[in-house]
Amino acid sequence: MGLHTLRLATTVPMTFSTLTSRLFLKPIPPNTLQKVGVFSRHVHPRKPFLARTFSAPAAVQEIQPTQASDSSARPQWKASIDFKWIRDNKEAIGINIKNRNSNADLGAVIELYENMVNLQKEVEGIREERNNVAKKMKGKLEPSERERLVEEGKSLKESLVTLEEDLAKLQDELQQVGRSIPNMTHPDVPVGGEDSSAVRKEVGSPREFSFPIKDHLQLGKDLDLIDFDSASEVSGSKFFYLKNEAVLLEMALLNWTLSEVMKKGFTPLTTPEIVRSSIVEKCGFQPRGDNTQVYSIDGTDQCLIGTAEIPVGGIHMDSILLESALPLKYIAFSHCFRTEAGAAGAATKGLYRVHQFSKAEMFVLCRPEDSETFHNELIQIEEDLFTSLGLHFKTLDMATADLGAPAYRKFDIEAWMPGLGRYGEITKAGDWEYVTAHLNRFRRVLRKAKPVFRLLSLCTL
């Protein structure tokens, strides 16, 4: 059983955007699940690794963090980006940035990298001079010569301190600017804007009604299912209460989804909903800034999660996993919180672009060569679920300009929404190619890391 370099492979948020609220569950008596029989029939025998996955099992070797935890300060980390590869392949990177409609400044990244390399050479040269001076001082010397060498050593030390400080600042600046470079793109992804996205599959057709159609806002009001007004007074705009049958419907959808996905060998999770800012950042999200979608907690290094992808991505950080333990497949439920900055207008009216919602998310850690297989499996699971619900939908291979910075490839499922008279996104399946042989910007890092690596150290934009 060999150790194997992992990848943060495929993340599939399954968002019930029209049926969202916080769930409050009472404690369940010990034998209730067996009596109900909802989950017990579908729980697959766990691998020894999974049975103790959160308690330092034999298949997981914990690596001690290199920095102490300090809740009063934001943790520092460096993304493992191969800037040399970016410089040497600037034409391909530039085309990728253009295709993805990214505002990344490739020129600034290359300039900063070259300045850093030159400064590193200067620092190494002074270190070598200082070492030579130290060697000379070990022998027998005239007092005047020793004094001269002492003064030279002090001067070199002062110069070195200054240059090392400049180098550290330059490296930090390179890190900040370099993270804006988007991931490389799967060669089969359509080039262009959202309209260029390719239809992978279409199921069903729009229903025809013999009566005027009501949208979810009108239905919610008429049937006393949704209360926006009270939630607005309690929490602010874009919050809501679900009521009556809508509560039961959301819980039924969640339980049914978990049950169906568990049949495929996924381990169910509920996750923490507050995580450290560094984890959010390492998973490719911007935890702070003017345009962030993340709620930060003042006075701490913590944030509310916008997706279960973040805490699930952190489960195995700083761990070494045996290849025999792969794949690791999770179905995680969480509440999600997003600022939805700039989300306004008729297209987001009602239960769209809300600040809090519930979501089930499939997440797979696998070998790089198995990534595409599992990506297709996740998309198939989504399509099967929505086909079972009788929805008319289409699966889209999203075009380059519609991909988020970390995504290598992404498939969206859009369902026909009669009340809106248009398709609306109900789920997405993304392949985050953080760690893979053909993601060349990390090639040097992989050579160093094989057969293991610190998982989140490679999770970056």
Report the C-alpha gap between 304 and 332 in whole angstroms.
16
Phi-psi map region of 37: left, alpha, beta (phi>0 left; psi -120 to 50 alpha): left
For residues 420, 423, 426, 427, the Cα torsion angle rounded to the nearest 10 degrees is -160
Q: Does the predicted TM-score (pTM) go above 0.75?
A: no
SS3 202: strand
Query: 453: pLDDT confidence band, cut at 50, 70 and 90?
Result: very low
pLDDT attached to residue 76: 55
The token pair that represents 19 in the structure block? 């049926």
CATH classification for the domain delimited by 105-178, as one of 3.40.470.10, 3.40.50.20, 1.10.287.40, 1.10.10.10: 1.10.287.40
**Residues 6+ positions from 303 with CB-CB distance below 8 Å:** 274, 275, 276, 277, 280, 287, 294, 295, 296, 297
Report the C-alpha gap between 10 and 28 in whole angstroms.
32
Determine the CATH number of domain 7-70+191-458: 3.30.930.10
SS3 117: helix
Query: Which position has the higher pLDDT, 404 or 388?
Result: 388
pLDDT attached to residue 53: 36
Rounded to an integer, the average pLDDT of 95-122 is: 94
Mean pLDDT for the chain overall: 77
What is the torsional sign of CA 240, 246, 248, 253?
negative
**Residues 6+ positions from 402 with CB-CB distance below 8 Å:** 193, 194, 197, 410
Give me the percent of the chain exceeding a pLDDT of 70: 74
Instruction: Give residue-wise pLDDT tens across range 319-349.
Output: 888 888 999 999 999 999 998 865 666 667 8
For residues 126, 131, 132, 137, the Cα torsion angle rounded to the nearest 10 degrees is 130
Report the C-alpha gap between 235 and 115 in whole angstroms.
49
Domain spans in the chain, listed from the N-terminal domain onward: 7-70+191-458, 105-178
Rounded to an integer, the average pLDDT of 116-122 is: 94
β-pair partners for 330: 267, 363
Instruction: Give residue-wise pLDDT tens across range 12-24.
Output: 333 322 222 222 2
Report the C-alpha gap between 304 and 282 in whole angstroms.
15
Count of C-beta atoms within a 10 Å radius of residue 96: 19
Instruction: Give residue-wise pLDDT tens across range 161-216.
Output: 999 999 999 999 998 898 889 989 999 999 999 899 999 999 999 998 999 999 89
User: Is 451 a residue whose pLDDT tops 90?
Assistant: no
Give the Å distances, CA to CA, from 141 to 75, 136, 145, 146, 360.
48, 8, 6, 6, 74
Report the C-alpha gap between 96 and 1 in whole angstroms.
38
Query: 94: pLDDT confidence band, cut at 50, 70 and 90?
Result: very high
Exposed, middle or buried: residue 128 (CB in 10 Å: 0-12, 13-18, 19+)?
Answer: exposed
7: enclosing H helix or E strand: strand 7-15
The DSSP-derived string for 382-407 is HHHHHHHTT--EEEEE--GGGS-TT-
Give the Å distances, CA to CA, from 386 to 219, 290, 394, 415, 429.
22, 36, 10, 9, 14
Strands in 35-110 per DSSP E: 60-62
**Residues 6+ positions from 59 with CB-CB distance below 8 Å:** 48, 49, 321, 322, 324, 325
pLDDT attached to residue 348: 73
The DSSP-derived string for 234-255 is HT-TT--EE-THHHHHHHHHHH
The DSSP-derived string for 156-191 is HHHHHHHHHHHHHHHHHHHHHHHTTSPPP--TTSPP
